[in-house]
Structure 1
Amino acid sequence: METKTAHIDELISTFLAEGLEADVLEELKAWIAESEENRVHFMKCQEIWFSAVQEQEGKYYDQEKAFELFEKRVEKQKAEKRKARIPVWRGLYKYAVAILLFGFISYFSYQKGENSLRNALAEIEVEAPSGSQTRLHLPDGTTVLLNSDSRITYAQDFGVNSREVTLQGEGYFEVAHNQKIPFYVKTEDVQVRVLGTKFNFRDYPEDGEVVVSLIEGKVALKNKIRQEADLVLMPDEQMVLDKKEKVMKKESMNAQAVLQWAEGCLSFDETPLLEVAKILERSYDVEIEFTEESLKELRFYGNFNRTKQGLNDILNALSATGKVHYMLKGEKIVLY
C-alpha cells in the first residue's frame, strides 16, 4: 500500500513540475476518479507542492529541491492526519494556489460528470505576485511560466470544447498541440491564435507596447484596438504594437534574449531608465520614483542574474555610471 502511495505521489509531483506522458496521465486520472479520498489527496498534494515551490521564489527554480520539500510535507501531513482528522478545506481560499487547485480538480471532475464543482467557480485565476514567478500546467498539457506581477484566467471547462486564456502581464507558453481545438491567448490589446507552439507574450497594462515573440511553430495575431489584417509570425520573429499608434509591426528577434527572464536573468540593452525601473519594481516587489523627468530617458546597459545578484547590485551598477544615484525613502527607492 505504501509503495502504491509513493508511486502516486511521484506521479502527482511530476505532473505539477513538468507534466506527464499521455499514458501515465491517464493512469493518474483513473486513480483520482476511483474515490473521493483519492481526489482529496490529489488536492492536498497540489497545495503542498505549490507551497514548496513558493519557497524557491527569488532563486532559480530547482525541481529536485521542491520535490524533496514536497515529500517531507506529504509525510508530515500524513502523520498529522493519523493524530487528528483535519478539515482539508480550511484556509484554501487564502491563496491564489487554491484557485489553481480547483482548476485541476474541475478538469477531472468533468471527466466523471460531476458538474457541481465546475459550476462552483466561473473562472480560474492564477497569479505570479511581484517579486516571483509561477509555473503551471494547464489541463490540456500546455505549460505556462508567468513573470512577476502577471496573471492568467481561464474557464472551468478549459480544454473540453475550447482553449482560451486571458493574460495580464507576461507569460511564456509551450502550447500542447491540438489540431481540433486552437489555443487562444487574449489581452486587452492583442489576441494570439495557435495550434501548438512556443512563444512569449508581454502586455502589462502600464506598458506602452505589446510584444509577442515566436520561438517555435506559427501564430496568427489579431489587433483588438484597431481593425487591420491579422499578422502571422514565423520562428525568430516578433510583433510589437505601440499602444498609441495602435498598429502591429513585425520584426526579427533573438529568442535567447527574449527568454532570459525565464531563467532568472535581467538584461538591459540601451533600455530607458523608466523601463528599467518598471522591471525592477516587478522583479523585486519594490516602488521606485524619480526626482526628475529627464532621468527617465537615460539609457542603461547591463546583464544580471537574480539567483546571484540582488536589487542593491543593480542599483549600485546604476550609480556607477555617474548619471544617476539612489537613496531609500521609507519603503521607496528614489532615483535622483
Structure 2
Amino acid sequence: MSKIRQIIQEYFNNTYSESIRKKFSIWLVDSKATEEKDKTLQEIWDNLNISADTSTESSYLQLQHRLFIGRKTYRRQLFRKIEKITAVFLIPILSVAFSYFYLKNSKLPAIENIEYAEYFVPNGEIRTLTLPDSSKVLLNSGSVLIYPQKFDGKTRDLYLNGEACFTVVRDENKPFIVKTQDMHVEVLGTVFNVSSYADSGNSSTTLESGVVNIRLKNKQSESILLKPNEQMLYNRKSGVSEVKQVNIETILAWKEGHLVLQSMSMDEIIKTIERRYDVTIFLNSNKYNKEKITAKFIHGEKINEFFAVLQQLIPYMKYKIEGKKVYIY
C-alpha cells in the first residue's frame, strides 16, 4: 500500500489543526505524484456511500472558493460527481490527507517552523493586503493568497489561486516569487498582475513596470522575461505559452471595479460573472458555444443591467435571475 493511500486512510481516525490544513494548500499545487494522488482520491470518492441533501449545492459552491485546488482535471471530476457527496465530507478528504503527507514527507527544511497566513477574498469583493515586507497586493474576487507571516528565508514565496496585482518592495537579496499551479513568477521589485484561477482554461502574467522572470512548471529549464506592457498567456489544455503586447489599462481595469470582456466565450463569461456578482449561473444549453463577446462595463453596472446588455449582444439568449441564481436558456 502506498504512503499516500495510508495517509488518506489514517485521516479518518484523526483530527488535524487549521495550520496543517493551510499547509496542505501549498503542497497541493506541487506537481509531484499527481497521477497517484488523483487515482487514490478518486477510488475513495467512488467508494463513499453518501447522499447529498438540500445544502449540497450551496456548500459546494462555497468550497470551490475556499480550497486551493491546483488541478483543473480533478475539479471537473468533482463537478460530475456533485450529486454523490456533500462538501462537508470533501473538505477533510482533500485537505487533511495532503497536509499530513506534506508535513511528514516533504524534504523542505524546517517547514514546521514557518507560520502561514491565508487571505481569502469572497466573490463580489476586491481587497487590499499589505505583506510582511510592506509590498502591496490587490486581490480580485474569489482569490486565495497564502504567504509566510514573516519572510525569513532567502526568498519571499507566496501561493496564489485567483487574480492579484502586486506592487513589490525591492530587495535585491531576497527575490519575490509568486507560485501558481502553472508557473513561478520571480521579481525583485516591480508592479505586475497574475491571473490563475483553478477553474480557468488559461493563466497569465502581465507586467506594468520593472522586470519579471517566469518559469512554467512544464518547462522548468526555460525562463520567460517580460518587459512592461507585455503579457505571458499560458493555455492549460495545449500547454502552449505566448508573449504579446497588451493594453495594461485594459488588463488592470478590474482594479477600478470595471469589467472588461475580451473575446470571451460563454463559459469564461459565466465564471467571471459568478465571481464578480457572487451568484451561481446555470447554463441549460450548448447553443452559445461559438459565441465570443467583447464588451466593457465601467459604470458599476448591476447584474440585471449586465445581462440586459449581454442579451443585446446575443439577441436569441434567454435568461432569468432569481436571487443569487441565474438561469440561461
TM-score by length of 2: 0.63
- Counterpart of 2:303 in structure 1 is 311
User: Are the counterparts in 2 of residues 170 and 203 from structure 1 also a CA contact under 8 Å?
Assistant: yes
Coordinate RMSD, CA, aligned:
2.0
- Counterpart of 1:222 in structure 2 is 215
1:11-22 equivalences under 5 Å are: none
> Counterparts of 1:230 and 1:155 in 2: how far apart (Å)?
25
Structure 1 position 189 matched with structure 2 position 189: no
> Counterparts of 1:204 and 1:215 in 2: how far apart (Å)?
20
> Counterparts of 1:243 and 1:226 in 2: how far apart (Å)?
13
Structure 1 position 261 matched with structure 2 position 269: no
> Counterparts of 1:158 and 1:254 in 2: how far apart (Å)?
33
1:270-285 equivalences under 5 Å are: 270-285=263-278
Which amino acid in 2 is paired with 1:311? I
User: Are the counterparts in 2 of residues 129 and 150 from structure 1 also a CA contact under 8 Å?
Assistant: yes
Cα deviation for residue 157 of structure 1 reads 2.2
Which amino acid in 2 is paired with 1:251? K
Change (3 A) 1:159 1:260: farther
1:113-124 equivalences under 5 Å are: 122-124=115-117
- Counterpart of 2:95 in structure 1 is none
- Counterpart of 1:31 in structure 2 is none
Taking only the aligned residue pairs, the percentage that are identical comes to 32
Structure of greater Rg? 1
TM-score by length of 1: 0.61
> Counterparts of 1:199 and 1:170 in 2: how far apart (Å)?
11
Which amino acid in 1 is paired with 2:134? G
The total of aligned residue pairs comes to 218
- Counterpart of 2:163 in structure 1 is 170
> Counterparts of 1:205 and 1:314 in 2: how far apart (Å)?
25
SS of the residue aligned with 1:294?
Answer: coil
Cα deviation for residue 161 of structure 1 reads 4.1
Question: Which structure 1 residue ranges, 5 or more long, are not aligned?
Answer: 1-117
1:72-83 equivalences under 5 Å are: none
User: Are the counterparts in 1 of residues 262 and 293 from structure 2 also a CA contact under 8 Å?
Assistant: yes
Which of 170, 188, 192 is equivalent to 1:199? 192
> Counterparts of 2:152 and 2:273 in 1: how far apart (Å)?
35
Question: Which structure 2 residue ranges, 5 or more long, are not aligned?
Answer: 1-110
Which amino acid in 1 is paired with 2:282? E
Higher helix fraction: Structure 1 or Structure 2?
A: 1
Change (3 A) 1:130 1:120: farther
> Counterparts of 1:271 and 1:162 in 2: how far apart (Å)?
36
Cα deviation for residue 165 of structure 1 reads 0.5
User: Are the counterparts in 2 of residues 127 and 134 from structure 1 also a CA contact under 8 Å?
Assistant: no
Cα deviation for residue 298 of structure 1 reads 1.2
